[in-house]
Amino acid sequence: MADLDLLVIGEINPDLIVRGPDVCPAFGQEEKLVDEATLTIGSSSAILACGAARLGLRTAFLGVAGEDQFGRYMLDAMARRGVDVSSCIVDRGLRTGMSVILSQPHDRAILTYPGAIGALRPDQVDRSLLRRARHLHVGSYYLLDALRPGLPALYAEAHEAGMTTSLDTNWDPSGQWNGGLAEVLSHCDVFLPNEAEARAIARCETLPEALEMLASLVPVVAVKLGAEGGVAYTRNLAKGVAHSSALSGAKRDAPPSQGLFHALALPVDVVDTTGAGDSFDAGFLYGYLNGWPLDRALRLACACGSLSTRAPGGTTGQPTLEEALLAIRNE
């Protein structure tokens, strides 16, 4: 019997967000003063896990941290937000990664020290978690260097254990957009890229072409479009949301919907878009795991993404389920 809704496997690193009108470093030992510096939960996957827990999904996280202050900070902060981190691995021989985000009003630059980010190996994944959770999500595919080759087998094991699966690759720093991804996608029930990632992975010029290509591999594709909201596409709904609803035993609250849907972002006063895509994922998976129709899952996802931009960092602005439902009711 599943005692967890969601198992997230991914990377662990804090973000140091430095904000101001001019955060461009000046070499030559120049000192500049900035408006604000915030140490906060980083890592796409960890931000997603916190967003899911905030919405009420019973969520566990698996990743590797070093035995150091950054690692302890991350594990404590995730636990405080209701994420079960008891299976995370603390490796004395590694140092926890860190991102420094230089954020000015219309742009940001990121410096990442990878540290332990890519260290998790397939044999370190506690297989009992696959029997305890209903759904497996993996984030930051292109950063998980040691795990990547074992992911198709891990997803296949998850399916055998009765789980549904999803993936958000995020950006590929190598620019290759490959790494055996097609094989992983063939084991995926939900794929959650943003538009640039979707086009790069599908090797298509336009979003409609990319959606068509990706939907030939994955039953449900939801693509994030920043301030434009998002789209969700399925060629065969019966294999997508219905599958998850059968697993959960949840009742659908509307007749099946098919095809392509677009949902708008909420008009919010944007403070910081860090992690908006991860909060979108959390909202989408909430709807998916509760057997919602695709269009409603997408609207919740967009609301969660937009509301997360209200505060600096990925997790501070993440909505409760009540807040997110209120936002989509008022649309």
Ligand X SMILES: Nc1ncnc2c1ncn2[C@@H]1O[C@H](COP(=O)(O)OP(=O)(O)O)[C@@H](O)[C@H]1O
Q: Which residue's CB is nearer to ligand X, number 132 or number 296?
A: 296
* Least separation in angstroms between CB 305 and ligand X: 2
Q: Cβ distance 11 to 113 under 8 Å? A: no
276 binds, among Mg ion, ligand X, none (CB under 5 to 8 A by kind): ligand X
How many angstroms separate the CA atoms of 164 and 239, rounded?
11
How many angstroms separate the CA atoms of 232 and 261, rounded?
5
Q: Cβ distance 81 to 320 under 8 Å? A: no
Backbone φ and ψ of 170, nearest 5°: 55, -170
* Least separation in angstroms between CB 270 and ligand X: 5
273 binds, among Mg ion, ligand X, none (CB under 5 to 8 A by kind): ligand X
How many angstroms separate the CA atoms of 197 and 172, rounded?
8
Classified as helix, coil or strand, 238 is: helix
309 binds, among Mg ion, ligand X, none (CB under 5 to 8 A by kind): ligand X
230 binds, among Mg ion, ligand X, none (CB under 5 to 8 A by kind): ligand X
Q: Which residue's CB is nearer to ligand X, number 122 or number 226?
A: 226
Any idea which residue has 């989408």 for tokens?
284
How many angstroms separate the CA atoms of 318 and 169, rounded?
21
* Least separation in angstroms between CB 324 and ligand X: 11
* Least separation in angstroms between CB 57 and Mg ion: 19
Q: Which residue's CB is nearer to ligand X, number 257 or number 309?
A: 309
89 binds, among ligand X, Mg ion, none (CB under 5 to 8 A by kind): none
How distant, in Å, are the alpha carbons of 183, 260, 315 from that of 225? 25, 14, 20
280 binds, among ligand X, Mg ion, none (CB under 5 to 8 A by kind): ligand X
* Least separation in angstroms between CB 37 and ligand X: 22
**DSSP strands (E only) in the chain:** 4-9, 14-19, 36-41, 59-62, 64-66, 89-91, 98-104, 107-113, 133-139, 164-168, 190-191, 220-224, 230-234, 259-263
* Least separation in angstroms between CB 140 and Mg ion: 9
306 binds, among Mg ion, ligand X, none (CB under 5 to 8 A by kind): ligand X
* Least separation in angstroms between CB 15 and ligand X: 13
Q: Which residue's CB is nearer to Mg ion, number 165 or number 170?
A: 170
* Least separation in angstroms between CB 264 and Mg ion: 19
Backbone φ and ψ of 325, nearest 5°: -65, -40
List, in sequence order, every residue forming a beta bridge with 165; answer none if it has no partner: 136
Summarize as ranges the residues that interact with Mg ion (CB under 5 A). Answer: 170, 277
Q: Which residue's CB is nearer to ligand X, number 36 or number 331?
A: 331
Query: What residue number has its CB nearest to ligand X?
Result: 277
Q: Which residue's CB is nearer to Mg ion, number 277 or number 293?
A: 277
Report the b/e string of 236-274 with b at 16+ CB within 10 A.
Answer: ebeebbebbbebbeeeeeeeebeebbebebbebeebbbb
Q: Which residue's CB is nearer to ligand X, number 110 or number 156?
A: 110
How many angstroms separate the CA atoms of 44 and 277, rounded?
8
Q: Which residue's CB is nearer to ligand X, number 117 or number 300?
A: 300
How distant, in Å, are the alpha carbons of 33, 52, 212 from that of 167? 39, 15, 17
Summarize as ranges the residues that interact with ligand X (CB under 6 A). Answer: 194, 224-227, 229-230, 265, 268, 270, 273, 276-277, 280, 302, 305-306, 309
Q: Cβ distance 295 to 21 under 8 Å? A: no
Query: What residue number has its CB nearest to Mg ion?
Result: 277
282 binds, among Mg ion, ligand X, none (CB under 5 to 8 A by kind): none
